[in-house]
Amino acid sequence: MSLVAGLLAAALAVPGPAAEAASADLPPGVIAAYSLIAPKSAAESRLVARVVVARGDSCPQVKVSDPKGHRSSLPMEVRAPGATAAIAFASVTVCSVGLPAGLATAEVRGRAIPATMPRSVDRIALVGDTGCRIRSDLVQDCSDPTAWPIARISRRIAQQDPDVILDVGDFYYREESCPADSQANCGGSPPPLAGMPFLDSDYGWLAEVLVPMNPMLSVAPILMLRGNHETCDRGGNGFFLFLDPRPDTAGLCAPVATPAGLAAPAPATTPTWAATIRITPERTLRLALVDSAYGSDTAVTQWAAVQRPTYQRAQAMTEPKPGQDSWLLTHRPVFGIVSTQMAPPGNPEWTPWSSLDQTAASQGLLANYGMVLSSHLHLAQAVQIPGQPGSLVLGNGGTLLGPTTGYSIPATGPLANPDGSPDVPGVTPYPTAIDEWTDVRFGFGIATPGARAGRWAIAQLGPNGQQFAQCSLRDRQLACRSD
């Protein structure tokens, strides 16, 4: 068995041949190869090529060609984790290079990866919350492709041949060792590294993302957003190593020395950035990415003031222009509704509105957007607040789903107490929703642009590729209905 096959087998806790079959279309020695959408400061083409190989293997070159057929090679550089986190990622080497503009093709050891952003867009794949939950009190069946369907969803996304893929976060859920009474579901799953103030590892990221999501990783430029499962005390080291496109972020979550020993860095946001996708020669989609990994879901805390500048920056980066649609991408929903089954007993101040720090931090800063795309809640949901962009929540990409019932339009809106009074003194609450749709089943979205700016159709598809709902976005008004 090769070293790469051995790594895959260990990550998946399956025999070597099964792991090799999972990566049968990968070149020798390559664990994963993909192109990340990036800010222009990271790459002139706005794409960064990323390749993961086994420890001891050298970084390959990216062979490229221009539209005239002239070929050349780009050397890749090692992208290393922070020194204090390196022991958890010692089995792999991550390689990276920003792609220049004007390429026609790019490949790594024969594996084609996207070389350029699309000149036009017909389909955008949308997915979020994909990892397999392992906790001492709650274990998902990671060995069952029906119970944890991200590999099936990844294949279906690849079959849709999207022009772009947007993943709104929460990749890493293997936060504890597999319990002794759950070995049939997760036996051999990579556990957290003992003694470290974070929960992820190279084997865990192979098992959660790089192997099961392999079918979709190289079919289109992909944008990966940090979720709350990628905070620095959870899966942040791997996120910044493997999935963040910026060149100076790989060590952001590396533990810091304290008198008591190593500790995760204090909570902090990363800078907001934006990407532009050309839909047609006359129309663009501007995406603003806000890092909402931290904050409270159930109350407005001091974190809202820390978070607010990230939304102010997003607003400045999405100034309206003719022919431009703008979406806000933030892992925690600005407007999201949880099931009444989650209400704590005997708490009259509980509200079903979720991610209240994000709601407060972004208030008054949403006028530029046609839609807010998020995940975090383990379902598919659309919420329309009067005068606000439609909120689409897609957190149904594979993680254990939430309650199946208990969703409806709350009597009062976000930032309001149940009696209608402001939750935050001096802050006017939003009105309640005029439309809400929730469907609790696994799946992903395919967004198709309409004939005019501001208009989109978003199909909701299950792991079998069958459509189960259809959404319409029209001039900031979002409505979804199950088939």
Tens-digit pLDDT profile for residues 106-129: 999 999 999 999 999 999 999 999
CB-based contacts of 242: which residues, under 8 Å, 6+ apart?
Answer: 50, 52, 94, 205, 209, 210
Give the pLDDT confidence of 57-73 residue by residue, as tens digits.
999 999 999 999 999 99
Measured CA to CA in angstroms, residue 39 lies from 62, 65, 271, 295, 338 at distances of 20, 22, 11, 25, 33
* pLDDT above 80 (res 16): no
Contact (Cβ atoms closer than 8 angstroms) between residue 5 and residue 16: yes
Q: What is the average pLDDT across 306-335?
A: 98
Low-confidence winner among 39-43, 184-188, 384-388, 461-465 (lowest mean pLDDT) = 184-188
Q: Please return the burial class of 387, using the count of CB atoms within 10 Å of its CB with bins 0-12, 13-18 and 19+.
A: exposed
Q: How does the average pLDDT of the chain come out, rounded?
A: 95
Domain ranges of the chain: 31-266, 268-483
Indicate yes or no: pTM above 0.95.
Answer: yes
Contact (Cβ atoms closer than 8 angstroms) between residue 460 and residue 467: yes
**Sequence-ordered list of residues with C-beta below 8 angstroms from that of 145, at least 6 positions apart, any chain:** 151, 152, 463
- Who wins on pLDDT, 327 or 22? 327
The answer to whether the beta carbons of residues 441 and 147 sit under 8 Å apart is no
pLDDT for 414-469, tens place per residue? Answer: 999 988 999 888 889 999 999 999 999 999 999 999 999 999 999 999 999 999 99
Give CA–CA dist 27/33, Å, rounded.
9
Please check whether residue 432 is in contact with residue 173, taking contact to mean a CB–CB distance below 8 angstroms.
no
**pLDDT at residue 426, as a whole number:** 84
pLDDT class for 300, splitting at 50, 70, 90? very high
